[in-house]
Chains A and B, each alone.
Chain A
Amino acid sequence: MKKSISSKISRGSAELAILSLLEKQVLYGFEICKRIEEGSGGALCFTLASLYPMLYELEKRGWIEGKWQANQAGRDRRYYRLMPEGRRQLAPLRKQWHAFFVALDQLAGVHHV
């Protein structure tokens, strides 16, 4: 059975999940949702309502940029790509999440690999 993570936790991790995905390739909103769901084995799920405000927020900060282009089916979709500033934010973000899990491990015995 898939273990789903509560929406409060997944919302906090969305920033890192989105930036990590866009580090590898440009993706549009629905693809980002699918990749996050598949990549996390179904544990992390983002709906339209939780994803787009976050994407617009990251875009506003200048970490990602959206541009319209046709997808494989020929439909116009807004593809997001990681900007240099977003790339710069990734390393410290990863470090902080690692520190967070280590702290949680020490405090509550929550192990992570």
Chain B
Amino acid sequence: MSEWKRMVHDKLNLGLSPQQDEEVVSELAGHLEDLHQDLRQRGLSESVALRLAFAAVDDWKDLARKIRSTKREETVMNHRTKTLWLPGLMAFAASSILLMILQRLIMLRPTLLITLEHIIRLPAAFWWKNQVDVICLCWWVLLPLCGAAGACLSRRAGGTRLACAAASLFPSLVMLGLFCCILPVSMVIDKNSYLMQHPLYFVLAMVNWIMVPGLALLLGALPFLQRTTSLRQP
């Protein structure tokens, strides 16, 4: 270990992983070494150059605290987790909970259907017959809120436009994954011939569960996709 590294190692109590500690110490020691050499090249004596290089940091504890706060956060949760996975999962959870609430409200408590009967004047039988469609419609109408939540969280974490869009579309992407993997597998392994015989149903299900919700989610995300960077106060 060089003298510079030993000095930085002694002064800087980071408390990070050994690998991160080693990297930061090496980098800062290299900086001090370059500074010392630069001062020597400017004609300063060895003792003065050493003193000035040592004085480059007046508060090592403060420096360690600042570095720790940036590096530690990185260890706990990386950038992609903060800008994509977490907001995406939040949007997915919100959309699923929303669907569950609507199902319970409409199927178990007919209050909502009765209200709809009064607002949109269609025969009562229509509402009771098309309960599933009503649930679906209400879900689509409310889905932009879930898309907005995902995009908002992603943007607040410093996500790119693509990350914001992906986070908001996450519920649809999950459904797309299900349709692309589980259904074909069920056709091959379980010999589920129903889907083969009714391909139109499959397409309709794709539209209902992926395309329309995707558009609704994206609609909610739109305001957050117009990028502006916040300027730190000088």
Residues of A whose CB lies within 8 Å of any CB of B are 8-9, 11-13, 15, 28-30, 33-34, 47-49, 52-53, 56-57, 60-62, 75-78, 85, 88-89, 92-93, 96-97, 100
* B21: interface (CB < 8 Å): no
Report the Cα distance A53→B38, complex, angstroms. 22
Q: Assess the A53–B66 pair: CB atoms within 8 A.
A: yes
Q: Assess the B35–A30 pair: CB atoms within 8 A.
A: yes
- With known contacts A53-B67, A60-B70, A62-B79, A48–B160 Cβ distance under 8 A: no
Q: Is the interface of B mostly helix, strand, loop or mixed?
A: helix
Q: Assess the B56–A48 pair: CB atoms within 8 A.
A: yes
B57 CB → nearest A CB, Å: 5
Q: Assess the B35–A57 pair: CB atoms within 8 A.
A: no
Q: Is the interface of A mostly helix, strand, loop or mixed?
A: helix
When the two chains form the complex, which single residue of B27, B38, B229 contacts A89, counting CB atoms closer than 8 Å?
B229
When the two chains form the complex, which single residue of A15, A29, A52 contacts B232, counting CB atoms closer than 8 Å?
A15
Q: Assess the A52–B234 pair: CB atoms within 8 A.
A: no
When the two chains form the complex, which single residue of A28, A33, A75, A97 contacts B231, counting CB atoms closer than 8 Å?
A97
B9 CB → nearest A CB, Å: 15
Q: Assess the A56–B234 pair: CB atoms within 8 A.
A: no
Residue of B nearest to A90 (CB): B229
Report the Cα distance A90→B67, complex, angstroms. 24
6 of the cross-chain contacts (CB-CB < 8 Å) are A30-B31, A48-B35, A48-B57, A52-B24, A88-B227, A92-B228
* B33: interface (CB < 8 Å): yes
Q: Assess the A61–B27 pair: CB atoms within 8 A.
A: no
Count the B residues whose beta carbon is within 8 Å of the partner chain — how many? 34
Residue of A nearest to B157 (CB): A61
Q: Assess the A53–B234 pair: CB atoms within 8 A.
A: no
Q: Assess the B234–A13 pair: CB atoms within 8 A.
A: yes
Chain A residues within an 8 Å CB radius of B23: 78
Report the Cα distance A48→B38, complex, angstroms. 14
A75 CB → nearest B CB, Å: 7
